[in-house]
């Protein structure tokens, strides 16, 4: 039996940050594709209004959403209005590898945030990332860069609460961020009790460029994310990483030059019930 630890706390600001107002209509637009094309525009409805008071497993939230299928070598985009302050992107497969590019578009030919995602097993460790979307004319694009035989499922969860406080600011009030200089590498192992971790990367307003890896054993990548953000303060990178099993290690590489440091925070998100009382920090050690 597992239990979620409310690492965010139960303050009103945190509750508002994860509150979804009445359903928002999603219009998934077809992009360039060399595979089969669905006629017309698929309409996807947002989930019913709900408040995330405490962390929930990714699978539990995903089951409440309405996913769409993105075939191999296919692009799908989703547009939304300026009332959406942030969106959470979920990517999953039926157990096959996942390779995808996720981008935030704002206006023509402007991608202020983009990431390349690899999952060894898209069912055991689904992808879950929250993207800040201030301003208007925002869209999220998801391109399945895998082969036709490797489709993926994608879903979006929107926040229209109007709360302008960023997730990185909420975390800054509770946790200490560590500076990672350009070109530096930091790793942190954690015990099997930690079932998932929350990771946040940000800068003081400079561009952010980093690689995040989940390792299980020597050089055995279970999940890899290449991240670029035009402004690491306005659009920080926040992701929930599933860490089932033993021997898990998260490695963060600042792939930018030394003039572009970043700050990182990584904390347990969900832990086994038996360890809740004694593992407040999950015995995580930066190296």
Structural domain for 44, as ranges: 2-275
- Tell me what the mean pLDDT of segment 101-123 comes to: 95
The overall average pLDDT reported for the chain is 79
Here the CATH number for the domain that contains residue 196 is 2.60.120.680
- Tell me what the mean pLDDT of segment 109-133 comes to: 95
Buried b (16+ CB within 10 A) or exposed e, 74-89: bbbbbebeeebbbbbb
Has residue 282 been placed in a domain? Answer: no
Report the SS3 class of residue 259: coil
Angle at 47 between CA 201 and CA 68, to 5 degrees: 80
Beta strand pairing status for 113-119 and 221-229?
Answer: antiparallel
Has residue 281 been placed in a domain? Answer: no
Has residue 285 been placed in a domain? Answer: no
Task: Give the total number of structural domains in the chain.
Answer: 1
Buried b (16+ CB within 10 A) or exposed e, 6-38: ebbeeeeebbebbbbeeebebebeeeebeeeee
Has residue 19 been placed in a domain? Answer: yes
- Provide the token pair at 67: 């996913």
DSSP sequence for 169-237: HHHHTTS--EEE-TT-EEEEE--TTEEEEEEEEE-SSS-EEEEEEEEESTT-EEEEEEEEES-TTTS-E
Has residue 37 been placed in a domain? Answer: yes
Has residue 195 been placed in a domain? Answer: yes
pLDDT of residue 160: 77
The answer on pLDDT for 285 being more than 70 is no
Q: How sure is the predictor about 275, in pLDDT bands with cuts at 50, 70 and 90?
A: low
Has residue 113 been placed in a domain? Answer: yes
Has residue 246 been placed in a domain? Answer: yes
Per-residue pLDDT tens for 224-255? 999 999 999 999 999 999 999 899 999 999 99
The answer on pLDDT for 101 being more than 70 is yes
Which pTM was predicted?
0.78
């Amino acid at each position: 039996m597992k239990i979620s630890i409310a690492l965010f706390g139960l303050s009103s600001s945190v509750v508002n940050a994860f509150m979804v107002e009445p359903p928002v209509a999603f219009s998934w637009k077809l992009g360039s594709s060399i595979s089969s094309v669905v006629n017309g525009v698929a309409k996807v409805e947002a989930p019913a209004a709900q408040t995330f008071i405490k962390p929930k497993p990714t699978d539990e939230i995903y089951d409440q959403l309405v996913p769409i299928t993105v075939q191999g070598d296919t692009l799908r985009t989703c547009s939304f209005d300026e009332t959406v302050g942030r969106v959470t992107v979920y990517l999953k497969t039926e157990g096959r590898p996942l390779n995808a590019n996720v981008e935030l578009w704002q206006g023509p030919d402007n991608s202020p945030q983009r990431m390349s995602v690899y999952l060894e097993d898209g069912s055991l460790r689904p992808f879950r990332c929250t993207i800040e979307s201030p301003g208007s004319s925002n869209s999220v694009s998801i391109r399945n860069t895998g082969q036709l035989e490797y489709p993926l499922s994608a879903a979006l969860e929107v926040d229209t609460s109007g709360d302008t406080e960023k997730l990185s600011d909420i975390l800054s009030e509770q946790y200490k961020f560590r500076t990672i200089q350009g070109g530096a590498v930091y790793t942190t192992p954690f015990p099997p009790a930690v079932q998932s971790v929350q990771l946040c990367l940000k800068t003081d307003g400079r561009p952010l460029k980093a690689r995040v890896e989940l390792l299980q054993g020597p050089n055995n990548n279970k999940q890899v994310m290449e991240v670029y953000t035009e402004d690491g303060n306005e659009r920080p990178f926040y992701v929930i990483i599933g860490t089932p099993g033993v021997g898990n290690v998260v490695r963060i590489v600042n792939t930018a030059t030394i003039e572009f440091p970043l700050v990182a925070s990584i904390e347990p998100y969900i832990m086994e019930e038996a360890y809740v009382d004694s593992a407040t920090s999950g015995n995580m050690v930066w190296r």
